[in-house]
């Protein structure tokens, strides 16, 4: 248990302050140009940014994406972010609940319902760990934190670089199919910084998965996080694959094309304009992680709140400037796709 706790503490420190961003790869959201409407015929204050996600109404299509758990510091972070999500009407994701499998007392580091009774709460477990558990045990893990849905994360690139990481990724699709069929909670197939491809989308749809979190390339590289923790050969491996992944904008467009009911756009999303561009590509909700954590570390809950309120202002401004009175209209707004994003979407099958 101490090893997992130490790793989780390393992850918080590196995500907040480390050199763990992609160096060259971007989200490609900058390649989505929304078309300006000089006659929007809208009142900015009347624009409706609310959206229903997984049966709950959010005031804005914003997810504070899952980051941490399993340490005392993680407990403070999760509770502070949960209170903020409750106040502002956002969704909230928890970090991997794997520590709870080793020590049930770690549940306290994920327990946020006391401060966020109404928030859309997403639990989190790795597909490799889920593979080894019964569907009932996985359900119990999610229900132990009163989650509304469970993210089952897919992270082979991160794990192969991690010194103590998993190496056997067989049975992942079968596990997702089983959980989707057996569990009473919605199951979300979630990547961890490398994105989801068209091929993966097709396989997920074939086994009944309806919800995804793309967690694409362009923001925090979890390969980079593990590279910073690694030594010798593992560090060299991480350096070689630091830029690995599918840009977030590409993955969002592919998931929307595949017809998923819910598409969370995470991975390098930082601004309200990023959220607007992701929604225009077909996302249900934009997910933000590292910038929120960094704001929290700099100035506590008030700075994190100020940051996210600015994201909301930017989103509503973008909606005004394309003539979108609500999120459904934003998804239909004219947009032009440029450069590398256009090449990706016209290419790999």
Per residue in 178-214, pLDDT tens?
A: 999 999 999 999 999 999 999 999 999 999 999 999 9
Q: Can you tell me the mean pLDDT for 73-81?
A: 95
Residue 18 lies in a domain: no
Cα dist. 250→32, 96, 286, 296 in Å? Answer: 10, 25, 14, 29
Q: What is the pLDDT of residue 2?
A: 40
Q: Please spell the DSSP secondary structure of 206-257, one letter per residue.
A: HTT--EEE---BSSB-HHHHHHHH--HHHHHHHHHTTT-S-BHHHHHHHHHH
Q: How far apart are CA 98 and CA 52, in angstroms?
A: 29
The answer as to whether 171 is a domain residue is yes
* CA 346, chain centre distance (Å): 25
Domain of residue 176, residue span: 25-57+120-346
On the 0-12 / 13-18 / 19+ scale of CB atoms within 10 A, 250 is buried
**87 lies in a domain?**
no
The answer to whether 266 and 290 have CB atoms below 8 angstroms apart is: no
* Res 165: pLDDT: 85
Position with higher pLDDT, 114 vs 221: 114
Whole-number pLDDT of residue 349: 57
Write down the pTM of the prediction.
0.95
Q: Is the confidence at residue 47, as pLDDT, over 50?
A: yes
Nearest to 59 by CA among 301, 337, 285, 336: 285
Q: Residue 252: pLDDT above 90?
A: yes
Distance CA 12, CA 8 (A): 6
pLDDT value of position 54: 98
Span 124-133, pLDDT tens digits: 999 999 999 9
Residue 189 lies in a domain: yes
Section 277-294 average pLDDT: 97
CB atoms inside a 10 Å sphere around CB 316: 20
Q: How far apart are CA 1 and CA 17, in angstroms?
A: 24
Please answer whether residues 79 and 304 qualify as being in contact, where contact means their C-beta atoms are separated by less than 8 angstroms: no
Q: What is the DSSP string of 98-141?
A: HHHHH-GGGGGGT--TTT-SSSEEEEEEEHHHHHTS-HHHHHHH
Residue 298 is classified by DSSP as: H
Name the packing angle between helices 339-346 and 248-258 (round to 10°). Answer: 40
Residue 184 sits at the vertex; the CA angle it makes with 183 and 189, to the nearest 5 degrees, is: 55
Q: In the predicted model, what is the mean pLDDT of residues 336-345?
A: 96
Other beta carbons within 10 Å of 185: 17
Average pLDDT over residues 306-318: 98
* Closest to 243 measured CA to CA, from 210, 268, 272: 268
- CATH number for the domain harbouring residue 155: 3.20.20.70
Summarize pLDDT for 3-45 with one digit per residue, the tens.
666 666 766 776 677 777 899 999 999 999 999 999 999 999 9
Q: Is the dihedral of CA 281, 287, 288, 290 positive or negative?
A: negative
Query: How many domains, in total, are found in the chain?
Result: 1
Structural domain contains residue 113: no
If you average pLDDT over residues 214-234, what whole number do you get?
Answer: 88
Q: What percent of the chain has pLDDT over 90?
A: 85
The reported pLDDT for the residue numbered 5 is 65
pLDDT of residue 1: 39
What confidence score (pLDDT) does residue 20 get?
79
Q: Residue 99: inside a domain, yes or no?
A: no
Residue 174 has pLDDT above 60, yes or no: yes
- Domain-located, residue 127: yes
Is residue 67 in a domain?
no
* Greatest C-alpha distance within the chain: 61
């Amino acid at each position: 248990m101490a090893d997992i706790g130490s790793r989780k503490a390393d992850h918080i420190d590196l995500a907040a302050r480390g050199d763990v961003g992609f160096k060259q790869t971007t989200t490609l959201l900058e390649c989505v140009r929304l078309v300006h409407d000089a006659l929007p015929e809208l009142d900015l204050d009347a624009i409706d940014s609310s959206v229903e996600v997984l049966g709950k109404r959010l005031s804005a299509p914003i997810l504070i994406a899952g980051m941490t758990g399993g340490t005392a510091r993680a407990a403070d972070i999760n509770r502070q972010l949960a209170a903020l999500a409750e106040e502002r009407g956002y969704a909230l994701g928890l970090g991997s609940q794997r520590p709870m499998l080793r020590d049930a007392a770690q549940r306290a580091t994920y327990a946020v319902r006391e401060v966020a009774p109404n928030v859309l709460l997403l639990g989190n477990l790795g597909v490799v760990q889920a593979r080894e558990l019964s569907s009932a045990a996985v359900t119990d893990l999610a229900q132990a934190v009163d989650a509304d849905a469970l993210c089952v994360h897919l992270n082979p690139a991160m794990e192969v670089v991690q010194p103590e990481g998993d190496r056997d990724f067989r049975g992942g699709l079968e596990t997702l199919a089983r959980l989707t069929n057996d569990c009473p909670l919605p199951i979300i197939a979630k990547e961890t910084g490398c994105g989801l491809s068209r091929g993966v989308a097709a396989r997920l749809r074939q086994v009944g998965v309806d919800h995804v979190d793309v967690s694409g390339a362009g923001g925090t590289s979890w390969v980079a996080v593990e590279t910073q923790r690694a030594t010798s050969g593992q560090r060299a491996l991480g350096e070689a694959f630091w830029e690995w992944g599918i840009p977030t904008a590409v993955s969002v467009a592919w998931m929307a094309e595949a017809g998923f009911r819910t598409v969370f756009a995470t991975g390098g999303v930082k601004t309200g304009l990023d959220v607007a561009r992701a929604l225009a590509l077909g996302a249900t909700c934009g997910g933000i992680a590292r910038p929120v954590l960094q704001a929290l570390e700099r100035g506590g809950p008030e700075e994190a709140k100020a940051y996210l309120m600015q994201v909301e202002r930017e989103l509503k401004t973008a909606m005004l400037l394309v003539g979108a009175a609500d999120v459904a209209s934003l998804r239909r707004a004219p947009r032009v796709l440029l450069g590398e994003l256009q090449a990706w979407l016209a290419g790999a099958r």
